[in-house]
Structure 1
């Protein structure tokens, strides 16, 4: 049975059919089959946001433009997301108009593509979708890649001011940790070893914290529990069960966090865009919290700096 979704582009209506064979868990996801079929749609803008910033040059989805997560999506001077002015100019340079449909994808199960989707949401950009399964699924299916530089006309999109309702700060999570906020739920999406304090960070990463462990009161649902074997998101029904098992059912506000905010964006997407829960992403995450003086830390492994 087909699910038909009508999307207005300002001039006419495009009918997007997603069949059961190319099922998507949310209207904010598109399948690889759908994207290849609609890849030349003039109102479609495709953006790659990968962890490995050299992936794009080695081959990318045709008509895609590259977004460098550690320079384009963050402020170049202070630790913050990109400013409204800089992000707006970036999107205009990528040919994005007010009526464009934006498709984001990347490597590592769309970690930084989901970060990008969160930044788009913060600035009130509508009609933004993730390619379900990301770059890995596209490549595994033998779909086309290009090394050709994408040429686009400048866009005319205008951004709203940043929406603070989608973002959590250190003070927000400290209030939960100190039990001053009994309503909000914290979801730590890192690995079980990071959560317990057995390790400070995944092997090979540069962003470290002085302390290991997790924010008191947080439940641990590693981000990978939200995806199927092929990297696509699990169905809404499956996701509800995953999070309900640890008391996250959408009845209370949620804050997601990880190490630097990218994996937690992936879980933010699952909870917000697929399940429709009230969710903020704490992009400061453990590198901010674990380096902060005077905050409570839960460390099940008893580690200190140096891992002893």
Structure 2
């Protein structure tokens, strides 16, 4: 991991094992479905962030507010001087989204466990079903960092600019419009299929090693993105269906490759594909 632009944001499973129970380190699993993951066994002392309930506001269709995030981290016993370690299912798909949300609110001492649950289980490292209890803490978040997030109107303009590039990280069938959502989410469709005009299709999972869920090497990542014209001299805007897969790509580009200007369009295809007269490309 030392060759990445910012290796300090990744820790390996061995490092995490060594810090289980450390009072200055809080380990947190981030799951889409805790009943199929966290509840069946998790890293000892690890807390839980339920992606659907804890970091999303389903009524506003937005991420949680600053005060909601402070309450969540306080409930997990996290203080500003602790190191917060995130890991999760689906090769850290949802853990990377939580990482992006926390960075949006200025959380600094934050790392991702490379390989997530998949690597921990492959290595047969300790698991427990015990749910920890933490004393409630006070956490102070910062004001939103809009340098890492963009909205619809911004994307409308960016798609026409040569110094910006859109990366659609969904699968090829979603990109082409053949399907409207991944098969595992049959009720979460947009009205139209296709992609934002000019977007490059680089599925998020191409950034990880299938065997253990870890990120690919620096050279492999560079080849993956530069071969599609996604280069560090451009502002990069990643999107997917609702902004979680694109946060994984945002992490890889910003922290592993060190691209200076990477943003997540978390409105993504759920917003773009449902609006009247937003332009789309579809074969």
- Aligned pair 1:49/2:30, yes or no? yes
Stretches of structure 1 lacking an aligned partner (at least 5 in a row)? 4-19, 301-308
- Aligned pair 1:37/2:24, yes or no? no
CA displacement 1:263-306 (0-9 Å, x = unmatched): 11110110111112111111111111100111110002xxxxxx
Are the aligned partners of 1:216 and 1:297 in contact in 2 as well (CA < 8 Å)? yes
Listed as ranges, the matches of 1:181-220 within 5 Å are: 181-205=161-185, 206-220=187-201
Which one of the candidate residues 201, 214, 225 is aligned to 2:206? 225
* TM-score (structure 1 length as normaliser): 0.87
- Aligned pair 1:122/2:104, yes or no? yes
Bigger drift between 162-171 and 51-60 goes to 51-60
Are the aligned partners of 1:25 and 1:235 in contact in 2 as well (CA < 8 Å)? no
CA spacing shift, 1:24–1:272, aligned 2, 3 Å: closer
After TM superposition, what 4+ stretches of structure 1 lie above 3 angstroms from structure 2?
A: none
Listed as ranges, the matches of 1:1-308 within 5 Å are: 26-54=7-35, 55-177=37-159, 179=160, 181-205=161-185, 206-229=187-210, 230-277=212-259, 278-300=261-283
SS at structure 2 position matched to 1:146:
coil
- CA RMSD in angstroms comes to 1.8
Are the aligned partners of 1:24 and 1:30 in contact in 2 as well (CA < 8 Å)? no
Instruction: Please tell me whether Structure 1 or Structure 2 has the larger radius of gyration of its CA atoms.
Output: 1
State how far apart, in whole Å, the 1-side matches of 2:21 and 2:6 are.
24
Report the Cα offset of residue 53 of structure 1.
Answer: 2.4
State how far apart, in whole Å, the 2-side matches of 1:233 and 1:185 are.
22
Of structures 1 and 2, the one with the larger relative CO (CA 8 A, separation 6+) is: 2
Report the Cα offset of residue 224 of structure 1.
Answer: 1.4
Report the Cα offset of residue 24 of structure 1.
Answer: 11
SS at structure 1 position matched to 2:62:
coil
